[in-house]
């Protein structure tokens, strides 16, 4: 059973239509789905962190944890921070290589190419 959603920041949540993704995150959280942001950025401070905090149970930045996508360890760490096992998580990224890394680690992968296609995939994965 899928119980976690992990989203990349740059390229996914910076998409011009990303407000719809943030709305989907809110709806999934209302249904008990745990959410995390996983970014290869050095970190986030001030306004960016304050904007993201309400949407995510965990914020994981490679620069803060010392391991980056597509390394399996960062996916395992993120699932652990959500209190989930890795195969309970869906990972969304605009980089196919990062998605392959997540799948190799045990997550379900969604390659983000547009907000609409990602929302359709998330709806199918988290329906029921």
Chain segment 27-43, per-residue pLDDT in tens: 999 999 999 999 998 87
What is the pTM (predicted TM-score) of this model? 0.96
Q: Determine the Cα angle at 25 with ends 96 and 57, to 5°.
A: 95
CA atoms within 13 A on the CB side of 83: 5
Range of the domain at 88: 4-126
Q: At 88, which CATH number?
A: 3.40.50.1000
Q: How many domains does the chain have?
A: 1
* Residue 96 pLDDT: 98
Examine the pLDDT at 49 and tell me if it is beyond 90.
no
């Amino acid at each position: 059973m899928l119980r976690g959603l992990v989203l990349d920041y740059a390229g996914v949540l910076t998409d011009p239509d990303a407000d719809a993704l943030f709305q989907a995150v809110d709806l999934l959280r209302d249904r008990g789905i745990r959410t995390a942001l996983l970014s290869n950025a050095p970190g986030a401070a001030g306004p960016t962190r304050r904007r993201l905090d309400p949407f995510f149970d965990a914020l994981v930045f490679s620069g803060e944890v010392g391991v980056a996508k597509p390394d399996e360890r960062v996916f395992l760490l993120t699932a652990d921070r959500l209190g989930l096992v890795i195969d309970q998580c869906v990972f969304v990224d605009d980089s196919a290589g990062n998605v392959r890394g997540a799948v190799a680690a045990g997550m379900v992968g969604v390659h983000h190419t547009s907000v609409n296609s990602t929302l359709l995939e998330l709806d199918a994965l988290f329906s029921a």
